[in-house]
A and B are shown apart, each in its own frame.
Chain A
Amino acid sequence: MLKVDVEKNLKAFHLASRFECESSGVIALFGRSGAGKSSIVNMLSGLLSPDRGHIAIRDRVLFDSDQGINVPPQKRRLGYVFQEDRLFPHLSVRGNLLYGWNRAPREDRRIQLEQVVTLLGIEPLLERRPGRLSGGEKQRVALGRALLANPSLLLMDEPLAALDQARKEDVLPFIERLRDDFEVPIIYVSHSMEEIVRLADTMVLISDGQVEAVGAVDDIMGRLDLRPLTGRYEAGAVIAAQISSHDHSFGLTELQFGGGTLRIPLLDMPTGTLLRLRIRARDVSLALRPPNDISIQNVFKATIVDIGSETGPQVDLRLDAGGAAVWARITKRALVTLKLEPGREVYAMVKAIAVDRHSLGRVTGSDRFLSGN
């Protein structure tokens, strides 16, 4: 169990954040830049002290203003991966990797150098200095260094933000493997919905220093009332699906989800794999009757649950497709001419190539995501 209840006066605003969640898997702190995510992580790490509050991880109290407890960062045993790599320039990659390991209590050293080096594929870099590494390599070493300190929790503050898209794709799979292979819970700060959907199980939504919602990623993403915070452009539903077959002749992969079958460009993953994927609202269109003779590969039946009340020419509809929440963004003109209203049954259409490939994330642990809300 992770308990956070902190208050601090920052220059821009008063931060007062409170949340509790299971300390397992990946917990994402999501919010716009300047929402206070990094401050919260810094308070967890001990690098920043709250004015008031309480922080505990698995019943271990790290901070409590009432009891006068403030464990210094070096005693908290939390790994921290920063936005910049922060590798020590005067030490070799090996020296960097072992810096925290050497300082960890002997009985805590479960994770060994060889495991991490193999996982991150940094064997050839071991004797090099950080100055001779590329951005992606540096961040991999930084991941390894934090992991080798054998922390009880890993903090990651936008670890990919300083990398370009190609380097991000280099590093992301390693974070996934790290999540799957080692039982270290991760707190992952990001303002990128793609990364969160791909990596996280639990999501804490933060705005202006306040926690707006805590819950499973697809639950939070499915809530229309949180839309102003989850972002309009990013708007889309996160659904869970399972790979049922691959169609190599057409280069497509078939997925099963609550609403039926989805076809998306071929994935290099075994059948049976549980996936989480995001369908952007602007990629979903609606029809009242089953459409024939069209190129769109994905058509499924859904019921309108809720209609957004946005100003402007567009409107977002929340649909229920066999238990899975899907959103559609259509024009107000279409809304009126089709006489759409909650309870109405429609056919939702999604282009196969529209599915956001960067957002594909493997679901870990339970299959609770398959059941929708």
Chain B
Amino acid sequence: MYSLTPLELDALQLSLRVAFFAVALSVPLGIAAAWLLARCNFPGKAVFDGIVHLPLVLPPVVVGYLLLVLLGREGLIGRWLYEVFDITLAFTWQGAAIAAAVMAFPLMVRSIRLALELVDRNLEAAAFTLGAGSWNVFFSITLPLISPGILAGCLLAFARSLGEFGATITFAANIPGATQTIPLALYSVIQTPDGEFPALRLAILSVVLSFAALAVSEILARRLRTRLAG
């Protein structure tokens, strides 16, 4: 009763793995994109801003379809990846992680960008006068100052990845043990006869997982805040 069924265990492990890699992928890219948007002026910035935010407004199925077109084995980039590196993304858990990362990306970027815009640039100027070069200033001053924003972005992206459904099922499909995360498993279970009880168990699992993520992030955020505030 209190132990998880193999299907639930698979779904849980897969959900965590997909969400973890989705966050890991979108953190460095998210910082780079947020930096470009907050600090740089370049032609086509508005278009870039639009593309970054596209997954937020597009139906997830459309994002999944676009990923299939780009990264599928017959896709524009996917074919090259397959022929040169023998990498297949579509219908694999890695593909599910990429789908989740793309969907969560705007949330990550918004959170980091907001933090970047709040950084007192005077502190960076002070660091320059103390002999630190650009990268040095970034790693020793800017990054620590925006760390609460990065953490908030990570939580949002992690939660978004745990709940990702549309883009994942389109790009990575619903393969038990390979790409079937908790929401996909729940979807499958509901469609079988007598699926109400297993569905409830999966729903509870999902709630517990989300609360755990929230709690961890709250603890980390509190630590960061005291670190920054003194």
Contact = CB atoms under 8 A, between A and B. Distances in A.
Given A86-B122, A88-B123, A73 B228 contact: no
A79 B125 CA distance: 12
B13 interface: no
Interface in A85-127: 86, 88-90, 99-100, 103-104
A260 interface: no
B19 to A, nearest CB: 28
Interface string B95-130: 000000000000000000000000010110111111
A217 to B, nearest CB: 27
Nearest to A77: B131
Interface in B116-163: 120, 122-123, 125-133, 136, 140-141, 144-145
B229 A131 contact: yes
Contacts of A351: none
Contacts, number: 71
Contacts of A176: none
B230 A132 contact: yes
B228 A90 contact: yes
Contact of A82 (B126, B128, B131, B227): B126
Contact of A47 (B123, B128, B130): B128
Nearest to A150: B131
A45 interface: yes
B122 to A, nearest CB: 6
Chain A, interface size: which category?
20 to 34
B128 A74 contact: yes
Nearest to B229: A131
A100 B228 contact: no
Contacts of B141: 88
A145 interface: yes
Contacts of A32: none
A258 interface: no
B127 A88 contact: yes
Contacts of B131: 74-75, 77, 100, 103-104, 149
Contacts of B130: 74, 79, 99-100, 103, 145-146, 149
B230 A99 contact: no
A153 B28 CA distance: 39
Interface string A42-73: 00011100000000000000000000000011
Contact of B145 (A45, A89, A132): A89
A130 B122 CA distance: 16
B211 to A, nearest CB: 29
B129 A130 contact: no
Contacts of B123: 86, 88
Contacts of B230: 89, 128-132
Contacts of B228: 89-90, 131
Nearest to A47: B125
A84 interface: yes
A136 to B, nearest CB: 16
Nearest to B126: A86
A90 B144 contact: yes
Interface of A: 45-47, 72-80, 82, 84, 86, 88-90, 99-100, 103-104, 128-132, 145-146, 149
22 contacts: A45-B129, A46-B129, A47-B128, A74-B129, A74-B131, A74-B133, A75-B131, A78-B129, A79-B129, A79-B130, A86-B126, A89-B145, A89-B229, A89-B230, A99-B130, A103-B130, A103-B132, A104-B131, A128-B230, A129-B229, A132-B230, A149-B130
Give the 6 A-B residue pairs with the shortest CB-CB distance, closest first: A129-B230, A131-B230, A100-B130, A103-B131, A80-B129, A86-B126
Given A73-B128, A74-B136, A86-B122, 15 more contacts: A47-B129, A72-B133, A73-B129, A74-B128, A79-B130, A80-B129, A88-B123, A88-B127, A88-B141, A90-B227, A99-B130, A103-B130, A129-B230, A130-B230, A132-B230
Interface of B: 120, 122-123, 125-133, 136, 140-141, 144-145, 227-230
